[in-house]
Amino acid sequence: MNEYDSLRILDLTKKIDYIPTSNHSEANCYILNTCHIREKATEKVYHDIGRLKKEFKNKKKPIVLVAGCVAQAEGDILLKKEKYIDAVIGPQSYHQINDMITKIENKSKQINYSEFDVIEKFDSLNSIKNSDNKISSFLTIQEGCDKFCKFCVVPYTRGPEFSRSIKELVLEANDLVKNGAREINLLGQNVNAYDFESKRLSDLILEISKIKNLKRIRYTTSHPRDFTVDLIKIHKNCEKLMPLIHLPVQSGSNKILESMNRKHTIEEYLDITKKLLEINPNIKFSSDFIIGYPGETKDDFKKSIELLKRVQFINSFSYIFSARPGTPAFYLSKIEEKEAKSRLIEFQNIAENLKIIYKKSLINKTVKVLFENKMKIKNKYFGRDEYFNSVIVESDNDLVGKIKNIKILEGNQNTLFGEIVPNVNRTHYAA
C-alpha cells in the first residue's frame, strides 16, 4: 500500500511542479514514506536522515518530510528529536502534502498533519488522475482495520475500516488500464472487509472484470473472518481472478489465535480453504505467520508447522513476534529470543522445502505468464504466472503486456526460466 501511496504522492506533487529525480544529491525535497509494522522502523528514519545530513552538509538543506505510519504513530517524537525534519504527514492526510510543502517553502515552522480524514483524502485524490503506467498496478480500495489484533499497529496508524465507492474505483481502474495496466491488484489492509453501500469485494471484482483490456485481478490482504460465500463463489465465476489467495493465519494454534484476538479458529480457516478448493481445485494459498508470539509453547509452534504442511502454502511469510509500542501485545512477556529464533529457522526451513518441491513440480509444465518488463539483459523478459511466480524467458519479440504460454525448463526458489510454447495452427479438413 505504501507503494500505491508513494505513486499518488508523486501525482499530487506534480501539481506544484515537483517531479521525481534519480539524481539523489540534487533533490530539493525528500519524502520518506515509512512503514511501522516491524521494529526498528523509527531508527531507520533517523538513519536515513543522518545520511541526508551528511550528503547535504555543504549544500542548501532540502525539504525533508516523513510520511506514512511512522509519522502517524511517532510524529511528535520525530519532530522533537530531529530538527532536520520539516514535517510529518500521516497516511490519511497526504492529500494535504502540497499545502505542507508550500508552507515549508514559505519558512513555516515544523508541521504535523496526522488527521484521520480518509473521505477528504480520497475525494482529493479522485480529482487527480492516477498516472501509474505499470503492467501490474496497485489500486487501494479499502483502508484501515477494525479487527484490533493485539500485535498490530494498523488500527492505530491507518484508522477504522473505510471503503471507497465502486464508481470511483472503476474510474481509477479504467485509467490504469488506459495507461497500460493489464493486471490490477486490489489493496486493503483488510481488503475483503470491503463494504460500500452493501456492495462487497465480489461485486467490485465483477465490475472491474468488465474492463476490456484488463486481463488479471488479484486482491490482498484478506482476513479469514471476512471470507464470505460470495467471495468464495467469485473464484469460480470470474476467469480474470487469479487462483492464488493470500490468507494470513498468523498461528496454527487456537490458543494463540485467541490471545492474538484474531477472531477466527483454525477449523474456520481450514473450512474456507476447503470450500475454495471445492469450488476451484486450482487455487493455491500463501500466508503470514508470527513465530514466538508471547505464550507460544512448543506444542503451539508444532501446530503452526502442522498447518503449514496441511495447507501446503506455496509461499509463507514468517517473522519473529515484533512488539510494537502502543499495541496490547507490547506489554506481554516475550518468549526467550534464542528459542524464538530457533523456531523461526525450523519453520522457514520447512516452508522453503515446500516451496522448492512446488517449484520443481512446475518443471516441464506449461504456465500462463503476463510479461511486465524487458530486463536489462539482452532479449530477456520478466513476467508472472497466475500464482505470482516470477518467470524469465528469452524472446526477439516484445512481450511486455502480453500473456503467453510458457513451458518451464528450470528454476530455483525465486525464479522460473522457460520458453514460449508456439501457437499451433490447426487445420481441420472435412471428411
- Shortest reach from residue 157's CB to ligand SF4, in Å: 10
Residues in contact with ligand SF4, counted by CB under 6 A, come to a total of 10
3-state secondary structure at position 360: helix
Q: What are the grid coordinates assigned to 340, written together?
A: 524464538
Alpha carbons 26 and 350: distance in angstroms, whole number: 47
Rule CB under 6 A: say whether 93 interacts with ligand SF4.
no
C-beta of 188 vs 411, nearer to ligand SF4: 188
- In whole angstroms, how far apart are CA 94 and each of 29, 70, 91, 143? 15, 13, 6, 14
Rule CB under 6 A: say whether 324 interacts with ligand SF4.
no
- Shortest reach from residue 132's CB to ligand SF4, in Å: 24
Buried b (16+ CB within 10 A) or exposed e, 369-403: bbbbeeeeeeeebbbbbbbbbebbbeeeeebebbb
Rule CB under 6 A: say whether 223 interacts with ligand SF4.
yes
Rule CB under 6 A: say whether 317 interacts with ligand SF4.
no
Distance of CA 86 to the CA centre of its chain: 28
What track of x and - describes contact with ligand SF4 for positions 122 through 151 (by CB under 6 A)? -----------------------x-xxx--
C-beta of 86 vs 161, nearer to ligand SF4: 161
Q: How is residue 125 annotated by DSSP?
A: H
C-beta of 293 vs 381, nearer to ligand SF4: 293
Alpha carbons 175 and 157: distance in angstroms, whole number: 29
Q: How is residue 422 annotated by DSSP?
A: P
C-beta of 137 vs 250, nearer to ligand SF4: 250
C-beta of 185 vs 190, nearer to ligand SF4: 190
Alpha carbons 144 and 189: distance in angstroms, whole number: 6
C-beta of 37 vs 171, nearer to ligand SF4: 37
- Shortest reach from residue 195's CB to ligand SF4, in Å: 15
Residues 143-202 that bind ligand SF4 (CB under 6 A): 145, 147-149, 152, 154-155, 189-190
* Tally of CA atoms within 13 A in the half-sphere of 296 that contains its CB: 31
C-beta of 150 vs 368, nearer to ligand SF4: 150
Contacts of 241 (CB under 8 A, 6+ apart): 205, 209, 217, 218, 234, 235
- Shortest reach from residue 294's CB to ligand SF4, in Å: 16
Residues at the site binding ligand SF4, with contacts judged by CB under 6 A: 145, 147-149, 152, 154-155, 189-190, 223
